[in-house]
Structure 1
Amino acid sequence: MTTRRQFTLAAATGLAATATLAAPTIARAQTVKWRMVTSWPKRLPGPGMSAERVAERIRTLSNGRLDISVSAAGEIVPAFGVLEAVGNGVAEIGHTASFYWQGKMAAAPFFTTVPFGLTPAEHVAWIDAGGGQALWDELYKPFGVKPFMGGNTGVCMGGWFRREIKSLAELRGLKLRSLGLGGEVYRRLGATPQTTSPAEILTSIQSGVIDGAEFVGPGTDIALGLYRAAPFYYYPGFNKPNGTGEAIVSLKAWETLAPDLKAVVAHACATEASYALAEMERLNAQALGVLIKEHNVKLAPFPADVIAAARRQADDVVAELGARDAIAGKIHDSYKAFRDSVADWSRVSIEAVLRARVG
């Protein structure tokens, strides 16, 4: 006869065994798997690596509860298909740049860069402390995504050209890979902007489809080999004085996350926004020296008449953008007011320090 003690022991043993067998199943059920689509060639220095690091940090900080696989441009969707893919649920998260969406929402470029606009530090101040993030969320909500700063390539360069630019007149008629508001400024200076994806820039220059291109800065541009086809490298990057990359999360996927996982995603993106800027300062400095000393790149400032004309055109381009619709007007007014408010401080702080440093 089975005693009560024997029955209790057997039951306890059975429950323990059941719990042991069930534990892995429960652990597996708690793991959330996401797909990240990006606008970048795989592991491209700068934005491509930012995408990888965002995914890695989320995985680590969540102790594996949120596991993200990263796909380069073209593996699941093309470079300029990231917003639609995330908004439609093809992927839960994307890594890209807001100015790619100018055709869908006029004000999107404000969240990457504006010609003669905010520098990287100023841009971060506007987003995090000046009301920019709330406006960004409002702009993107109809597209089903939530945006975060997810990297920054810093101050960009003016562009690579197949031939020397000695005056404003020599820009006219050139076909240039240039996106966002900077592309519109180049158009008004007489060039023809092209929306070439990053992976196709070099072959497009080599084949003569385009005459030049702007992309990021030395640390990223060197990886694309642009110096092989366009040896003239111009600065300043009036067209892109900042280089914020964005991580966009599907609102549907976001709303299903536990609060701690939402905090993990937000923290991972913020960390990358800071780290990427530091990393790109190092890479840009190193790569610029290599380009000049080893690849005979001809580094030069734009002629004064190019900068003067570009500044005039940029004022009109940005003002016209702000008049496109109500949300564009709100974002334009916020951005402009913030730029105006920090101008004096930037002049007597960073600008003055840099002038003093060189004597």
Structure 2
Amino acid sequence: MKGKKNKNRSMPSRRAFLKKGLQSLAAGSLLGVAACRQDLKQAAGVEQLNEAHSGESIEWIAATTWPPNFPILGEGVQLFAKQVEIMSAGRLKIKVYGGGELIPPLEVFDAVSNGSIQIGHGAAYYWSGKIPAANFFAAVPFGFNAQQMNTWLISGGGWQLWQEIYAPYNIIPFPAGNTGVQMGGWFKREINSPADLKGLKMRIPGLGGKVLDRMGGAAVQIAGSEIYTSLERGVIDAAEWIGPYHDYTLGFHKIARYYYYPGWHEPGATLELLVNKQAFESLPASLQEIVRNAALRANLWMLSEFEAKNAEYLEKIVSEGKVELRSYPSEVMRALQSTTRQLLEELAEQDATTRKVWTHVQSFKQKMKGWNQISEAAILPYLQS
């Protein structure tokens, strides 16, 4: 009993001590805030953060363009949602639906735009019909690889340009994944010169398909689930999908002899997170930052996962199938590159926004050229040995 009394007697003094200490700490912080405008902004952000802790949890809906539980791409979006919930201590929960589960895959952009859902995940070139310049924020033939793409977006002004272009659609874009350099595709016959592309029926979408058309081939649009049967039955002569990991799961190594590289059409395809502008801006600063950082984590995870899995499954393809791994002849690559440049220049002439982005990309490429030549390009041959 005596010990208990002493304990109770000490409580007020402890409270007073803590209260005094906190008041002193707050006073010191206020002095710092008064001395620096930047600190005032930070203090406002902290105030928003504290307000968020007292509110109820927010529930968002995300829809992807990928089939449900699609390896790496769909998994990456699930990882993003999980990280947001963990980092926000449950204040923001995101329910993810695969393509077709909630809305058709290619209606994701419009659904985010009109606020039917808060988040979408896909690739910017899917919306090139309404925004021709969107191609540049996913992949264009002979464009940036993954590292260059991240550099351009995050530190080269590309992300700001991307946000500017999506602003009229009420959408804020975030980089959230990258496939890395893709493979050139599966062929039933050899490609030894540009002439071998003439009359070639190939499953290849986007700008890569337009380049093939100009080279005398015929780009065919076929869903991923239909590629195997079409290639097996001779409906098409060749097909590109993504890379060794996904190609192996579809069994292309069992029906096509020649596996060509590199993926000139998509040297580093960025995947995007689409967030409804009003929904994002209604979040407190702390949750906005969590969404931003979770997207960038997904961006890194997907690229890393693609690289690891592709290395593993390339070995499986070569060892298990009767496959000849071939590089495109330099003559073919130069012809494809020249045709690509002509196409991009024409598209830039037809659309002011495309011209603005194309000019920005070219300027950034030129700025980085000297450094890339004495860094990445110079060391890469030695890293492979």
Q: What does residue 295 of structure 2 align with?
A: 269
Q: What does residue 97 of structure 1 align with?
A: 123
1: CA distance between counterparts of 2:283 and 2:383?
A: 49
2: CA distance between counterparts of 1:44 and 1:183?
A: 24
Q: What does residue 107 of structure 1 align with?
A: 133
The structure that has the greater radius of gyration is 2
Tell me if the contact between 1:99 and 1:179 (Cα under 8 Å) persists in the aligned partners: no
Q: Given residue 147 of structure 2, which amino acid in structure 1 is its aligned partner?
A: A
Q: What does residue 83 of structure 2 align with?
A: 57
Q: Given residue 197 of structure 1, which amino acid in structure 2 is its aligned partner?
A: A
- Which secondary structure does the structure 2 equivalent of 1:107 belong to? helix
- Which secondary structure does the structure 1 equivalent of 2:350 belong to? coil
Given the alignment of the two structures, is residue 155 of structure 1 paired with residue 181 of structure 2, yes or no?
yes
2: CA distance between counterparts of 1:268 and 1:214?
A: 30
2: CA distance between counterparts of 1:163 and 1:46?
A: 30
Given the alignment of the two structures, is residue 77 of structure 1 paired with residue 126 of structure 2, yes or no?
no
Q: What does residue 186 of structure 1 align with?
A: 212
Q: Given residue 192 of structure 2, which amino acid in structure 1 is its aligned partner?
A: K
Query: C-alpha displacement at 1:331, in angstroms?
Result: 0.9
Given the alignment of the two structures, is residue 333 of structure 1 paired with residue 359 of structure 2, yes or no?
yes
2: CA distance between counterparts of 1:104 and 1:96?
A: 15
Tell me if the contact between 1:46 and 1:219 (Cα under 8 Å) persists in the aligned partners: no
Instruction: Select 2:67's aligned residue among 41, 44, 50.
Output: 41
Q: What does residue 258 of structure 1 align with?
A: 284
Q: What does residue 321 of structure 2 align with?
A: 295
- Which secondary structure does the structure 2 equivalent of 1:147 belong to? strand
Instruction: Select 2:270's aligned residue among 223, 238, 244.
Output: 244
Query: C-alpha displacement at 1:64, in angstroms?
Result: 1.7
Q: Given residue 157 of structure 2, which amino acid in structure 1 is its aligned partner?
A: G
Q: 341-350 vs 258-267, which deviates more?
A: 341-350
Structure 2 residue ranges without an equivalent (≥5)? 1-51
- Relative to structure 1, the CA distance from residue 285 to residue 43 in structure 2 (aligned partners, 3 Å threshold; closer, same or farther) is same
| TM-score (norm: length of structure 2) | 0.81
Query: C-alpha displacement at 1:27, in angstroms?
Result: 9.6
1: CA distance between counterparts of 2:230 and 2:104?
A: 17
- Relative to structure 1, the CA distance from residue 82 to residue 202 in structure 2 (aligned partners, 3 Å threshold; closer, same or farther) is farther
Q: What does residue 132 of structure 1 align with?
A: 158
Q: What does residue 315 of structure 1 align with?
A: 341
Query: Per-residue displacement from partner, 1:270-301 (whole Å, max 9, x unpaired)?
Result: 11112222221111111111111113332111
Query: Per-residue displacement from partner, 1:151-174 (whole Å, max 9, x unpaired)?
Result: 111111111223332332222222
Q: Given residue 79 of structure 1, which amino acid in structure 2 is its aligned partner?
A: P
- Which secondary structure does the structure 1 equivalent of 2:76 belong to? helix
- Which secondary structure does the structure 1 equivalent of 2:176 belong to? strand
2: CA distance between counterparts of 1:29 and 1:207?
A: 59
Query: Per-residue displacement from partner, 1:13-56 (whole Å, max 9, x unpaired)?
Result: xxxxxxxxxxxxx9997222222111112232232222221122
Query: Per-residue displacement from partner, 1:105-152 (whole Å, max 9, x unpaired)?
Result: 111110111211111111111101111011101111222211100011
Q: Given residue 168 of structure 1, which amino acid in structure 2 is its aligned partner?
A: P
Q: What does residue 17 of structure 1 align with?
A: none
Over the aligned positions, Cα root-mean-square deviation in angstroms equals 2.2
Tell me if the contact between 1:45 and 1:223 (Cα under 8 Å) persists in the aligned partners: no
Given the alignment of the two structures, is residue 202 of structure 1 paired with residue 228 of structure 2, yes or no?
yes
Query: C-alpha displacement at 1:183, in angstroms?
Result: 1.9
Structure 1 residue ranges without an equivalent (≥5)? 1-25
2: CA distance between counterparts of 1:80 and 1:175?
A: 24
2: CA distance between counterparts of 1:230 and 1:238?
A: 20
Given the alignment of the two structures, is residue 346 of structure 1 paired with residue 372 of structure 2, yes or no?
yes
| TM-score (norm: length of structure 1) | 0.86
Q: Given residue 339 of structure 1, which amino acid in structure 2 is its aligned partner?
A: K
Q: 110-119 vs 339-348, which deviates more?
A: 339-348
Tell me if the contact between 1:44 and 1:223 (Cα under 8 Å) persists in the aligned partners: no
- Relative to structure 1, the CA distance from residue 278 to residue 105 in structure 2 (aligned partners, 3 Å threshold; closer, same or farther) is same
2: CA distance between counterparts of 1:41 and 1:191?
A: 29
Query: C-alpha displacement at 1:337, in angstroms?
Result: 0.8
Q: Given residue 371 of structure 2, which amino acid in structure 1 is its aligned partner?
A: W
Q: Given residue 67 of structure 1, which amino acid in structure 2 is its aligned partner?
A: K
Q: Given residue 64 of structure 2, which amino acid in structure 1 is its aligned partner?
A: T
Q: Given residue 280 of structure 1, which amino acid in structure 2 is its aligned partner?
A: F
**Identical-pair percentage:** 38
Query: C-alpha displacement at 1:232, in angstroms?
Result: 2.1
Q: Given residue 263 of structure 1, which amino acid in structure 2 is its aligned partner?
A: E
Q: What does residue 170 of structure 1 align with?
A: 196
Tell me if the contact between 1:37 and 1:94 (Cα under 8 Å) persists in the aligned partners: yes
Q: Given residue 322 of structure 1, which amino acid in structure 2 is its aligned partner?
A: A
- Which secondary structure does the structure 2 equivalent of 1:37 belong to? strand
- Which secondary structure does the structure 2 equivalent of 1:34 belong to? strand
Tell me if the contact between 1:100 and 1:179 (Cα under 8 Å) persists in the aligned partners: no
